[in-house]
Amino acid sequence: MPIKEKFTLFHFVNYAVFAIITLICVFPFYYLFINTISNNDLSSRGLVMFYPKDIHWTNYTDVFRIPGLGQAALVSAGRTVLGTILTVAASAFLGYLFTKQMWGRSFWYRFLIITMYFNAGLIPWYLTMLQLGLTNNFWAYILPAIVQPFFIILVKTFVESTPLALQESAQIDGAGYFTIFAKIIFPLITPILATIAIFSAVTQWNSFTDTLFLITDQNLFTLQFILYRYMNEATSIAQLMKQSSGAMMDLSNMATPTSIQTTVSMVVVLPILLVYPFFQRFFVKGIMIGAVKG
Amino acid sequence: MKKRLGSSALLILICAIMIFTAACSSSNNGGNTNGSGSEADSGNGAGGEREEITIDVFSMLANYAGEQPGWFAKLVKDKFNIKLNIIASNLAGGQQKIATMMASGDMGDLVVFGSNGKDYQDAIKAGLLLDWTKDDLLNKHGQGLLENAPEAIEANKKQFGGGTAVYGIGFDVGTGEGPSEGATMTYGPNLRWDLYQKLGSPEIKTLNDYLPVLKQMKELEPKSESGRPTYGISLWSDWDGNYMTLAKVVAQFYGYNEGDGLNPAGLILTHQNKDEWQGVLDEDGHYLEGLKFYYDANQMGLLDPDSLTQKFSDVSSKFQDGQILFSHFPWVDNVYNTPERTAQGKGLALVPFSEEKITSYGQSPYGGNRVWAIGAKAKDPARIMEFVNWLYTPEGVMESNYGPKGLAWDIDENGKPFVTEFGWKALPANAEPVPAEYGGGTFKDGTNQINNTTLKLTNIHPETGEPYDYNIWNSTLTHNPDPVTKSWREAMGVMTAKEYFVKNEMIEVSKPFFTTETPATPSAQMQQMTTGIGKIIKEYSWKMIYAKNEAEYDQLKEEMISKAKGLGYDEVVQYEVELAEKTVFPNR
Amino acid sequence: MSVNHTSSKQMIKPQARNRIRPKDKYTLFLMALPFLALAFVFSYLPLYGWIYAFYDYRPGIPLSKSEFMGFDWFTSMVSNEVQRQEVMRVLRNTFAISTLNILTSVLPVVFAVFLAELRSAKFKKLVQTLTTLPNFISWVLVYSFAFMLFSVNNGFINHFLMDLGWISEPLNVLASDDHTWLSMTLWSVWKGLGWGAIMYIAAIMSIDQEIYEAARVDGAGRFRLMWHVTIPGIMPTFFVLLLLSIGNFINNGMEQFYVFQNAMNMHNIEVLDLYVYNIGMTNSNFGFATAVSLLKSLVSLFLLFVANSMSKVIRGESIF
């Protein structure tokens, strides 16, 4: 990095502004967290605001006792790891291919891009998945996610901004497309691949609509789905109230306490936060290669 | 070149394998279930130990998804060797989930419909439901149903099965006459009893009389326990449908109810037992009366300013903290009426107004509109039928609601039911740990998660001579009432809220009616029109409540009415009234 | 290596890539084929469902037994005067909020550029990680948090302002229609800022350090470096995203607006997606929903192509 500069007013302001932005972003999270470890009675009455009161961890122990949580964590982790690897590999490869003169390149490129802008609707999608045998099937999480036009665009844009000379020299040396891709392009575009990996991992981890509609086998439930179930209880109760002309039941007993709902959402977010710094390393690595390549 | 071709071939191969394995594993699943189903059948025939099966219970009422846990799971496993895998549409995309299930052609093994409207009728039309008369299923395995709910089966046959087929049975099948509620009614209004007593129990004649009383109560207790301001009335908007639900509740204080009891509710309210109706926007109707009531409350500073933006759960927290002095429904009181508070004499309790004619749901031998049905592709219809059958027997009703005998309830030497020590802690659905021999977990988690009822709980249990509902067992009513209940009983001269309304003839009970008409399924255009109008009504209703003055209130009202009419309000009302006059009024 | 390697001009030299053996283009295609097939299966195959837009489709009942509606669903949105007013209102909201979103899409760029100026690597990482947090909180939770902040009764913003004596009456921010578009935009900026910046941070990371060195030797100051090196380095990414978001102009999504909607702000918060949900999905009117989504798809594609051609004319390059 640059030679040492003085700590100027610019730096001061810059640091201050980022500190404030960070605080604003962290506070809600912090707020939710202190509410999960505070006395449930106080927190449900809205009395916990800035610091925890009567700290306890029973919410967390309760959440870890939710049946099927371990299995769900496994499924979530599985789909995230496998899905991300395949998506990143496919995006990198396709993004690269589309910088080459392949047969009908611009047609196929558009063929992929426009899929981002149309949507067949829920039922046709569901019936297609059903026909493909992708209901109650782990691959339902993976296969549809492999080709992501958005990521392909990102890679293509990125590859196009890398020095062409390297590829050309390799090509002259007789290297095939795979070799050029693996040996030259791949290392050059690590930062964008890391970005894609983060995006895709988070999408996989957070996704629950596929579980909602495609999965009824509880061995394939994901963490997000369990969270969704809890978060949605209030809506569900409201829905029941709308459906039922009269015949109301003792609904106040049916709802899961807010404390548990919040705790589940904490538990679901934490793994991402733990993994994120790991990806950040690849950002730095990108610089190194960038520096070396000249 | 070869190398490259080889690699792309490899990729294709990988994809092919993935798709292949995918297809395979799913077809395997199908194969397994079919296999176990047929084996179970033969086992059944031989009368030997039956193989365990897992059935998919698709419930539009369930609030839990996944395998049924706890004591209810153990009961069903022990009795039928069945595991219940519950699919809850409300937790998985609501109407959209229902749509995908229907589109797939397989709605699961046991199906619970939230209403007997469009979804149920479409499912029958699409051949998704099993006809219970096929293979004599009902006669062979459904004797309890035929015994305990014969009219309900008959009604379903006439309404939905063309007079021959049976595609399900309604819930809450009642016997006898009079209100079907238990100890408390569905509606209130309830007030903070201690404060009301301190004020000398001023007489409340009309709905508006609550407001000055609430004002005095608020002055008496301006702050809640945690120092927050108290409010006379607090509302929430997340239960609104085609209009503001809590304004409609006012109509329910006057013996009116939404819809007509048969066809889907839209924009009219009908009287429980007179052939009268009003549109929600009628000038002198109860809906607008409700809006005016809340508007007045707001003008007097009694209305919670967060009413519009909060959810029911927020209101529940406020009740818990003692911030709210008025409740529309008796069942929201629980969070405030804890043993500690009632011991101090603090609690919410019923304080009706003398003009009140509370809406009550009568006993109906034909059953209500939530339907139990069996999927056309059910694995083992006979065993599912047996299970449903059991739910409709006295034993099934008691055990599926309150757990196995001996846990939360028991029968004393005189043959009368009573709540056990454990029961007092666990009922109705508390997170009380359950001993492992009864299935473990907590009582709450173990409750029947299908969430539909069978026989009405106020029916009399043939063996005990007391109702199924533990709240109105003799032993319960006399069980150590808390000071608030005691004081309330003394002041009102009755044991329960229901008793009070019945005794003072302040109740309008719906009469059961038998009809061969199926509930109407309004066309998609009609529904869309209704929703569009409902959006306008909801939006303006809330604005009117928070209007600054009468002039603004009236102006908003005019706007609401003219916009709603512009979208076809009159047409919808006319459609609904015609339906009610044709299919409901002549039959009761 | 010189400056023009990473500058945006680099990518508009497709001819340079044309040195290719003639047979290779089929090989390349074959390599892409499996993926194109996947896209076809998952994105194109279900499109047969667009036919539902012309029927009164009820799930489970075959189309042959469903009522044919023609273009009724398409025209139902504008069937009478009040309806037309409603649709105009909804479109106005959609345009306003989309425009604000596009305007605020430069914020992540600014965020990334200034973040790169932070000297402490630890602090940089910390900021980068923590500012993505809001992205992980669902809108439902965001609303309950907003309610905690802004409610009249317990909201601590009100308490705080009243304690300071700045206001005498509590403000009811959530139940107000003032600046609804702006506040919705602010919420989405808050939620997406750190997350949206990731891509630009990655782009900045891959800018050749030597360019900075060279420029610095030439005597360029901090801001000139930002303007002449950093910004051009991330422009390709920015323009790609901009074009894509223009294609999404009429798709605001609905979750955010769904959780924040109420009677007071309904007039200005109801964007197209929310309107369709409010009016169609609560009835499971799939015919109508399909009709709208078909229309939206066509409009989106149209916008995308227009934006793409404009980009070709103005910037001399396009994304496809």
Strand B110-113 to strand B53-59: parallel, antiparallel, or no bridges (unpaired)? parallel
Size of interface A-B (CB pairs under 8 A): 159
Omega before residue A28 within 30° of 0, cis: no
CATH number at B137 reads: 3.40.190.10
Element (H, E) at B169: strand B169-170
At residue B7 the predicted structure's pLDDT band, cuts being 50, 70 and 90, is very low
CB atoms within 10 A of CB B205: 10
In a domain, B458, yes or no: yes
CA atoms within 13 A on the CB side of A16: 7
* Location of structure tokens 């649709």: C87
| pLDDT of res. C7 | 39
Contacting residues of C for B14, CB less than 8 Å apart: 34
Considering the domain architecture, whether residues B459 and B519 belong to the same structural domain is answered as no
Chain A interface test: which of B4, B10, B15, B26 (most A C-beta within 10 Å)? B26
At residue A287 the predicted structure's pLDDT band, cuts being 50, 70 and 90, is very low
CB-nearest partner of C46 from A128, A163, A265: A128
Render the burial of B486-517: b for 16+ CB within 10 Å, e for the rest.
Answer: ebbbeebebbbbbebbbeeebbbbbebbebee
Chain C interface test: which of B107, B129, B306 (most C C-beta within 10 Å)? B306
- Residue C117 and residue A10: Cβ atoms within 8 Å? yes
Strand B409-411 to strand B417-419: parallel, antiparallel, or no bridges (unpaired)? antiparallel
Side chain identity, residue A263 = T
- DSSP assignment letter at B279: E
- Residue B427 reports pLDDT greater than 90: no
- Residue C300 and residue A117: Cβ atoms within 8 Å? yes
Say how far apart CA B261 and CA B513 lie, in whole Å. Answer: 10
CB atoms within 10 A of CB B463: 12
Q: CATH number of the domain at C3-20+78-315, please?
A: 1.10.3720.10
- Residue B31 reports pLDDT greater than 50: no
Report the residue of chain B nearest A140, measured CA to CA: B22
CA atoms within 13 A on the CB side of B371: 27
* A74–chain C Cβ distance below 8 A for any pair: no
Neighbours of chain A (3+ CB pairs under 8 A): B, C
Say how far apart CA B202 and CA B184 lie, in whole Å. Answer: 23
Please give the full DSSP string across C96-158, using - where no structure is assigned. HHHHHHHHGGGHHHHHHHHHHT---HHHHHHHHHHTTHHHHS-HHHHHHHHHHHH-TTT-HHH
Chain A interface test: which of C4, C15, C48, C130 (most A C-beta within 10 Å)? C130
CB-nearest partner of B316 from A136, A177, A252: A252
- Residue A286 reports pLDDT greater than 80: no
Considering the domain architecture, whether residues B445 and B386 belong to the same structural domain is answered as yes
In a domain, B22, yes or no: no
CA B551 from centroid of its chain's CA atoms: 39
Better pLDDT: B84 or A5: B84
CB-nearest partner of C281 from B11, B95, B237: B95
Inter-residue contact B267 to B572 (CB < 8 Å):
yes
Considering the domain architecture, whether residues B370 and B345 belong to the same structural domain is answered as no
Q: What is the pLDDT of residues A209-236, one digit of tens each?
A: 899 999 988 899 999 888 888 877 777 7
| pLDDT of res. A126 | 92
Contacting residues of C for B100, CB less than 8 Å apart: 59
Helix, strand, or coil (residue C320) = coil
In a domain, B185, yes or no: no
Range of the domain at B573: 190-360+483-587
Closest CA to A237 of C219, C265, B88, C320: B88
Considering the domain architecture, whether residues B151 and B218 belong to the same structural domain is answered as no
CB-nearest partner of A137 from B25, B93, B311: B25
CB-nearest partner of C202 from A31, A231, A283: A283
Considering the domain architecture, whether residues B116 and B98 belong to the same structural domain is answered as yes
Q: Which sign, positive or negative, has the C-alpha torsion A280, A285, A286, A287?
A: positive
- Class of residue A285 by CB neighbours under 10 A (exposed 0-12, middle 13-18, buried 19+): middle
Question: Which distant-in-sequence residues (6+ apart) come within 8 Å of C102 by Cβ?
Answer: C242, C245, C246, C249
- Name the H helices within B2-142: 2-46, 70-80, 95-104, 118-125, 137-141
Bridge partners of B473? Answer: none
Considering the domain architecture, whether residues B90 and B138 belong to the same structural domain is answered as yes
- Residue B140 reports pLDDT greater than 50: yes
- Residue B99 and residue C152: Cβ atoms within 8 Å? no
Q: What is the pLDDT of residues B500-559, one digit of tens each?
A: 999 999 999 988 888 888 888 888 888 888 999 999 999 999 999 999 999 999 999 999
Contacting residues of A for B99, CB less than 8 Å apart: 122-123
The fraction of chain B above a pLDDT of 90, given in percent, is 63
Better pLDDT: B301 or B227: B301
ipTM of predicted assembly, 2 dp? 0.83
Omega before residue B428 within 30° of 0, cis: yes
Rounded to two decimals, what is the model's pTM? 0.86
Bridge partners of C9? Answer: none
* B290–chain A Cβ distance below 8 A for any pair: no
Side chain identity, residue B462 = P
Closest CA to B122 of B378, B452, B366, B371: B371
CB atoms within 10 A of CB A156: 22
Quote the radius of gyration of chain C (alpha carbons, Å): 25
Q: Quote the tokens at residue A216.
A: 């009824």
Closest CA to A157 of C38, C250, C244, C32: C244
At residue A292 the predicted structure's pLDDT band, cuts being 50, 70 and 90, is very low
Say how far apart CA B337 and CA A26 lie, in whole Å. Answer: 37
In a domain, B428, yes or no: yes
CB-nearest partner of A117 from C130, C148, C304: C304
Q: Which sign, positive or negative, has the C-alpha torsion C61, C65, C68, C72?
A: negative
Say how far apart CA B272 and CA C248 lie, in whole Å. Answer: 51
Considering the domain architecture, whether residues B197 and B266 belong to the same structural domain is answered as yes
| pLDDT of res. B25 | 42
Considering the domain architecture, whether residues B324 and B403 belong to the same structural domain is answered as no
Helix, strand, or coil (residue C58) = coil
Q: What separation in angstroms does the CA of C180 have from each of A237, B259, B357, B421, C152?
A: 29, 35, 43, 55, 18
- Residue A202 reports pLDDT greater than 70: yes
Chain C interface test: which of A119, A186, A213 (most C C-beta within 10 Å)? A119
* B546–chain C Cβ distance below 8 A for any pair: yes
The fraction of chain B above a pLDDT of 70, given in percent, is 92
- Residue A216 and residue B56: Cβ atoms within 8 Å? yes
Å from B533 to nearest chain A CA? 17
Domains and CATH numbers, chain A: 1-56 (no CATH), 67-293 (1.10.3720.10)
Å from A139 to nearest chain B CA? 6
* C288–chain B Cβ distance below 8 A for any pair: yes
* B299–chain A Cβ distance below 8 A for any pair: no
Considering the domain architecture, whether residues B453 and B503 belong to the same structural domain is answered as no
DSSP E strand boundaries for B296-455 = 326-327, 348-350, 358-360, 371-374, 409-411, 417-419
Q: What is the pLDDT of residues B366-388, one digit of tens each?
A: 988 899 999 999 989 999 999 99
Number of helices (H) and strands (E) in chain A: give both, helices first: 15, 0
Q: What is the pLDDT of residues B248-282, one digit of tens each?
A: 999 999 999 988 888 888 899 999 988 999 999 99
Interval B563-576 mean pLDDT: 93
At residue B10 the predicted structure's pLDDT band, cuts being 50, 70 and 90, is very low
Side chain identity, residue A123 = I
Report the residue of chain A nearest C297, measured CA to CA: A118
Render the burial of C292-302: b for 16+ CB within 10 Å, e for the rest.
Answer: bbbbbbebbbe
Considering the domain architecture, whether residues B553 and B471 belong to the same structural domain is answered as no
In a domain, B19, yes or no: no
From B459, B479, B499, the end of a domain falls on: B479
**What total of structural domains would you count in chain B?**
2
| pLDDT of res. C6 | 39
Please give the full DSSP string across A57-105, using - where no structure is assigned. -HHHHHHHTSTTHHHHHHHHHHHHHHHHHHHHHHHHHHHHHTTS--TTH
Considering the domain architecture, whether residues B140 and B161 belong to the same structural domain is answered as yes
Contacting residues of A for C5, CB less than 8 Å apart: 163
Contacting residues of C for B4, CB less than 8 Å apart: 27, 31
| pLDDT of res. A250 | 54
At residue B109 the predicted structure's pLDDT band, cuts being 50, 70 and 90, is very high
| pLDDT of res. B282 | 94
Å from B549 to nearest chain A CA? 31
Question: Which distant-in-sequence residues (6+ apart) come within 8 Å of A260 by Cβ?
Answer: A59, A62, A63, A230
First to last CA, chain B: 84
In a domain, B136, yes or no: yes
Predicted confidence pLDDT, tens digits, chain C (320 residues)? 333 343 333 443 444 444 556 677 888 898 899 999 999 999 999 999 999 999 988 888 888 888 888 888 888 878 878 888 888 999 999 999 999 999 999 999 999 999 988 888 889 888 988 998 888 888 888 888 888 888 887 777 887 888 787 877 778 888 888 889 999 999 999 999 999 998 898 888 878 778 888 888 888 888 888 888 889 888 888 988 898 899 889 888 888 999 999 999 999 999 998 988 888 766 678 888 888 889 999 999 999 999 989 888 887 777 77
Interval A162-172 mean pLDDT: 71
Chain B interface test: which of A43, A86, A213 (most B C-beta within 10 Å)? A213
Quote the radius of gyration of chain A (alpha carbons, Å): 24
Considering the domain architecture, whether residues B168 and B215 belong to the same structural domain is answered as no
CB-nearest partner of A134 from B22, B114, B258: B22
